[in-house]
Each structure stands twice: as structure tokens, then as C-alpha cells.
Chains A and B, each alone.
Chain A
Amino acid sequence: MAPIVEIIDVSKSYRRGNRTIPVLADINLNIEEGEFLALMGPSGSGKSTLLNLIAALDQVDSGAIRVGGIDITALSENELAEWRAVNVGFIFQFYNLIPVLTAFENVELPLLLTGLSRRQRNEHVEMALRIVNLEERMDHYPAQLSGGEQQRVAIARAIVTDPTILVADEPTGDLDKVAAREILELMDRLNRESHKTIIMVTHDPRAAEKARVIRRLEKGFLNDVHSQDPH
């Protein structure tokens, strides 16, 4: 079976004034469907950059990235926006919920770009909030929720469109131990029960323990595969 994500000879650098700073160099990586991959590495190793490239939030300098058979490096900005809306669910370190919208409305947001009716949207949102066990707090605003609850709303928002991949950038980085464990268990459940492909950037070894595969980035280079039985 073809991998769900294929990263082929991808390089990326940033310009700072007159200087070019290489971040990723000739990265090759395949991610299988249903995989839970942890990308680890020290700060500045390029792991978030790689995640952004996979999620089409940034553009490669060279190389190609295929997700579900589509070369996303060949898509225009508008095509990428449509592609992201359908194929990628995002979980951020700081939750990134819209503060003026309730939990329900935040989860509904990605569905506004679909052709679903209001009734269908409501059903999807309620189901997503049920999965993250927050249906009773759906009318609360982000400021009325704890960090862990906000992250669960963010996960509900990420899965509500049933995307091809879930990308998570330090999803437990802003949470206390208990909340972090809950979030990781939730992600683990999504991977095991719903066979969601998850790509998670973290530098927390305890978070990485939940992943099936760990890849390390060091100074823009990807190290060998490390598979494990998650705890």
C-alpha cells in the first residue's frame, strides 16, 4: 500500500537579511496511513518547519510532498486552501481557538467551507465534541475553559471534517501533566480506534512515547526510524 505522505528530497531555507539559513536538507520520509509519528529534535532542528510543509502552511524550496497521492507542492495558494480544509486537521501548542466563538462555533468553523447544511453541521460538531468528551461545555467560550479543555476543543475542530491527516505541533507544550496525559490519550484513541494518521512534533519524550514511530531531526537532517510499542 502506498504511503499516505511521501516527502521526496525536500529542502527548505529561510532568508534573514542577506543570509540564507538552511533549515531542512534533502529530507525523504514516508508516512503510512494510520501511523502515529512523532517528530523530535532540539529547538531549531526544523521539525515545525517540516510539519508546516506537510500541512501546506509553507512552501518547499525544492523537492515534492505528496499527500494521499496529490503533489501539494504543485498546487496554487487557493487550491492549497481548499486542500487543507478537506485533508488536514491542525492541533497547535496554544490551541488557537477564536476567542469570540463558543466551543461549538469554533468546531463548526471548518465546516463552513463545506457544502453541509446547518443541521448536518450541527450533527458533525456534536459528534466531534462527544468524541473529546466536551459536549456539555459546547456553549462555553475559550476563556471559560481550562487549557486541557481548550486543547480538546482544538482536537474536535481538527477532526470534525474527518481529514486525511492530523498534524499536531507541541500539542501538550502548554499543558500541565494531567491535561497533557489526557490529550495524548485522546490522540492515541483517535489513532487506534479511528485509524487517524497523526504527525506530531514534540520535544517531550513522554509525549513521543504515545507514538508508534519516532523520527529525529538534527540540524535539518532526518535520522533513522525508531519504531516502538506505545505505552
Chain B
Amino acid sequence: MFILKILIRNAFRHKLRTFLTILGITVAILAFGLLRTFINAWYGGVEASSASRLVTRSSISLIFHLPLSYKDKIRQVDGVKVVSWGNWFGGVYIDEKNFFANFAVDAKSYLQLYPEFLLSPEETNAFLRDRKAFVAGRKLAKRFGWKIGDTVTLRGTIFPGNWDFVLRGIYQGRDETIDETQFFFHWDYLNETLKKRASARTDQVGWYMVGVSRPDRAIEVALAIDRTFKNSLAETLTETEKAFQLSFISMSETIIMAIQLVSFVVIIIIIAVVANTMSMTYRERIGEYAIFKTLGFRGWRIAGMIVGESMVITLIGSFLGIVLTFPVARIVGKMLSNYFPVFNVAEEAIYMDLAASIIIGLIAAIVPTYRSVRIRIADGLRRIG
């Protein structure tokens, strides 16, 4: 208790300096936490992906479609439990700035494959019964004030024309990693409308989503699916949902790396700031450390006092930074909800904040500790007076 008392009183001996240092740490930890949250948000889709789902797409590129007829062949592959399919619709709601993801999916199998989208039985039935129905995520419906029964018109970009949909369900994510900003409707509605318009793009799907009976067989099943379509006109590439999501992220890998780099630079800068504070402290207290030594305090006890003081300052700043990360992330998340449907402060980000705090506190104390332990008592006492 006595030592803790000394640490806290020493830490606040120069109130303004300590306040500014704590403020710096708070801002740095806040920035670090937010940048880590950005990175987590980027990987949001990966986190939400299931080990028992595969995605089958054209081996050439995602923009090339696959025939609808593949669904029956995929179903026959050993280990396949459910097959669903979909197309990226790319519709615009009123204005392009109102961007959100919208898909045409095979509704029944899709809901079966994605149990993390929670819909009431009434909403599920209403969605399945109505060909023009769509389901929206809770955040998306809230964003535009949609209510059940509302008609929403999307302007097609890939599939031209105005498309009317009726909101029949609002899903909630099973947990906070689930994207609640999606819009999905019946693939049949899209396909039949295209048929009416005599489009050449009928019976074509963007990708298949495949549910496997056992996650440990996912790779084996993926290889079997691709083997089935080898040497066909539309060869497939099947991968786990996680790998599929990661392939999207790899396109923006440089940006993620840059964010990661900046997050570490922030920590390095604050280490320098705290180290400077601790060095000033050391210079002012050389005499006191000599007195402690004179009284019989050994080097490790003095080291403990310096490291302890550094940790007190750092942990106070870090605690404030971590506490502030949550409301600030909520505000930033709202501002960026068009780009990051899931923008939650991950537990991992908090652990990284804490690890960064400890590293800052320890590194900043290294030089003053080394010097104070090494200083000869007679030299230290000469600095007094």
C-alpha cells in the first residue's frame, strides 16, 4: 500500500505534465483502438463466415455467371447438404449515395443456410409466399424508416429498369458480428422478370452457396464440386466462405497494411512521449533515488518505483482511451455504416490496447530505470541542494 501511495503521489507531482501525458496516451490508445476496429470491420464478413459453408463461382472471375443447372449436380456431390444460389443485384435506392448490398437469392435454401439471420416464423412465411417480397436487415430498415408492408423500388444497374419489392421481414443478426444492412429478395422474381423481358441472362447465377454436412469435409467437398465441372464450358472454383471473403479483402490488402502500420506508429510516438516524461522525472529525482539507496533500498525496489510510476500514468491514460473507444466507435460506425455494416469494438482490440499500454509503460521506463539503478549514491546526493 505504501509503495502504491508513493507511485500515485509521484505520478501526479507535476500535475500539468502528467495530465498532458495522460491525455496523449488516451488519444493514442483511442486512435489505436479505432484503427484496430477499422481492421476488424474490414474482416467483418470473414468473422461471420461459417466453416460449414462453401461458395462455388466461376473459376475465371466472379463476374462470369454459372448455369442454374449446376445446382442439381452440386446436390449430388457426396457431403453436400444444402445448395443455394444468388446474384449480386446492384440496385440503387433513390440515389447512389444510399448504397447497400442487395442480392437475389433462392429464398428457402438461403434462409436454411444462414440461420444467423433471425426472422420470426410469420415473417419467414410471408417472405416465402410473396414472389415480390424482400427481407432487410434491422439497421438497413431503420436507416430508411422501412416498415413491414412497405413497397421499395430499386433502380437496376446490372439488370436495368425499376424493380418493386415489398418488405415482408426484418432480420436481426444472431450476434453483433452479423451484417444487418443486407437486402435480399427472390431469385425467381429476378429470373422470371428477365424471361419476360427476353433477356439472355436468364437461368444464370452469380454463385452457389453450398452447405456441407461436416465442416471437416469442406475441402474434400469443394474439390469434388470443382472436379464435377472440370473441362466444362463454365469451370468452377469452390472455396470455403471464409476464403471467399478473404479473397475480397486481399484486394484492399495494401490499405489494411497501411492502417496497421499507422496504428503501430501511433504507439511508437506515444512511447517516445511517455519516455520523455519519465526521463524528465528521472532527471528531477536523481537525488531522491540516491536517498532511497542511502536508506537501504536496493536497485530493484527503485526500478519498481520508476516502472510503477510509468505504469500508473500509462494505465490511467489507457483506461480512459479504452473507455472512450466504445462511444467514439459507435459514432464513427454510424457515420461509416454504408461502408462498414459491422463496426464493433472487438474484444481482441481491447486486449491489443491493454498489451500496447503495458508495452508503452515498460519501454518508457527502461532508460530511467537503468540509469537510476546504476547511479552511485555519492553522485546522486551531489545533485541535491
Contact = CB atoms under 8 A, between A and B. Distances in A.
B381 A57 contact: yes
Taking residues whose C-beta sits less than 8 angstroms from the other chain, chain A's interface range is: 20 to 34
Interface of B: 2-3, 5-6, 9-10, 13, 287-288, 291-299, 376-378, 381, 384-385
A126 interface: no
A174 B385 CA distance: 10
Given A94-B384, A110-B296, A100 B6 contact: yes
Contacts of B3: 112
Interface in A101-143: 101, 105, 108-110, 112-113
B21 to A, nearest CB: 17
A203 interface: no
A36 interface: no
B134 to A, nearest CB: 67
A93 interface: yes
A98 interface: yes
Contacts, number: 61
Interface string A151-165: 000000100000000
A121 B12 CA distance: 27
Contact of A113 (B5, B296, B385): B296
B295 A85 contact: yes
8 contacts: A81-B293, A81-B297, A90-B295, A92-B384, A96-B287, A100-B9, A112-B3, A174-B385
Contacts of B292: 109
Contact of A109 (B287, B295, B299, B378): B295
Contacts of B296: 81-86, 110, 113
B87 to A, nearest CB: 70
B370 to A, nearest CB: 15
A108 B377 contact: no
Given A57-B294, A84-B296, A113-B295, A98 B378 contact: no
Most buried by A among B3, B291, B294, B295: B295
B295 A110 contact: yes
Nearest to A59: B376
A105 B8 CA distance: 14
B309 to A, nearest CB: 11
A18 interface: no
Contact of B376 (A58, A82, A94, A157): A58
B2 A108 contact: yes
Closest 10 CB pairs of A and B: A85-B296, A100-B9, A57-B377, A58-B378, A94-B385, A84-B296, A96-B291, A81-B298, A110-B295, A81-B296
